[in-house]
Amino acid sequence: MIQRFANPNRFMRLSAAVVPWMAGATMILGAAGLYLGLFQAPADYQQGESVRIMYVHVPAAWMALFCYTSMAAASATALIWKHPLADLAARSTAPIGICFTFLALITGSLWGKPMWGTWWVWDARLTSVLVLFFLYLGYMALVNAFDDPARGAKAAAVLALVGFVNVPIIKFSVDWWNSLHQPASVLKLGGPSIHPSMLAPLLLMALAFTTYYFWVLLVRLRAEIISGKIRAIRLRQVHG
């Protein structure tokens, strides 16, 4: 199944059909999620109107972890099976993932000020997410740190795999250590503990962020493949 998409031409044909659907789904889901979250969902009895930050913060945090997991999986595929598109997928995912991580950190700070009385605390969850942000930065710097692109890709892939240990640390940090950050209220064994009127917009925003990821990923992959073809043509022209 993986090798089916190894052919760049086949990938370009399939992605051209999928990209408009991902774009449309992102806009529809995002509009519905924002409308329900900002205008229909009730204010929280403790957090008040500041609870509405959750509809951006929580999906952004989920996607920060999802993107890094995808990047690590693509890096492993590139190292083990030498899949021609896997390295491109990892490189294309990194800028998207770091944007989600930055958004999670910023919205978390905006929520923390009224709830905790401070913009930042060296809490286990917050600190591990900050480490994730630097892992993304390190990957993006390392992939371009060598004159030989293959060496940079291999070194960055190893960093992505080593750094993946931070993902379960982020997920379970509120359970393993005393934390100011609230525990999981959606993905838990006993089922969600959040009211359906708040859960619906939260899940819609999570779906919107997910389709946005795949939309931008496909666009970036297509751009990388086209750039590679242009470079190959120029090299052939230079060498005669």
* CATH number, residue 213: 1.20.120
Could you tell me the pTM of the whole model? 0.90
DSSP 58-117: HHHHHHHHHHHHHHHHHHHHHHHH--TTHHHHHHHHHHHHHHHHHHHHHHHHHHHHHHHS
How far apart, in whole angstroms, are the C-alpha atoms of residue 26 and residue 93? 17
Rounded (10°) CA dihedral 194, 197, 203, 208: -150
* Domain contains 187: no
Total domain count, the chain: 1
In a domain, 141, yes or no: yes
The reported pLDDT for the residue numbered 6 is 63
Supply the Cα-derived Rg of the chain in whole angstroms: 20
Does 90 fall in a domain?
Answer: yes
What is the per-residue pLDDT for 1?
Answer: 45
What does the pLDDT look like over 31-81, one tens digit per residue?
999 999 999 999 887 788 888 999 999 999 999 999 999 999 999 999 998
pLDDT tens digits in sequence order for the chain, 240 residues long: 445 556 778 889 999 999 999 999 999 999 999 999 999 999 887 788 888 999 999 999 999 999 999 999 999 999 998 887 899 999 999 999 999 999 999 999 998 888 888 888 888 889 999 999 999 999 999 998 988 888 999 999 999 999 999 999 998 887 666 665 666 666 554 556 577 888 999 999 999 999 999 999 999 999 999 988 888 788 788 876
User: Has residue 184 been placed in a domain?
Assistant: no
Q: Which two tokens stand for residue 134?
A: 């630097």
Assigned domain for 11 exists = no
The pLDDT assigned to 114 comes to 85
Domain that holds residue 30: 21-179+194-238
Output the pLDDT for position 189.
47
d(C-alpha 37, C-alpha 55), whole Å? 6
Cα separations in angstroms, 146 against 74, 87, 143, 155, 220: 20, 15, 7, 9, 22
CA distances from 104 to 56, 171, 210, 233 (A): 8, 14, 15, 41
pLDDT for res 119: 85
Tracing tokens 């939260």 back to the chain, one arrives at 202
The letter for the amino acid at 152 is G
Which DSSP string corresponds to 8-26? HHHHHHHHHHHHHHHHHHH
**Cβ-proximal residues to 235 (8 Å cutoff; 6+ apart), any chain:** none
Question: For residue 10, is it within any domain?
Answer: no
Is residue 4 included in any domain, yes or no?
no
In this structure, is residue 167 part of a structural domain?
yes
Among candidates 77, 168, 74, 94, which has minimal Cα distance to 125?
Answer: 168
| Residue 44 main-chain phi, psi, to 5 deg | -80, 145
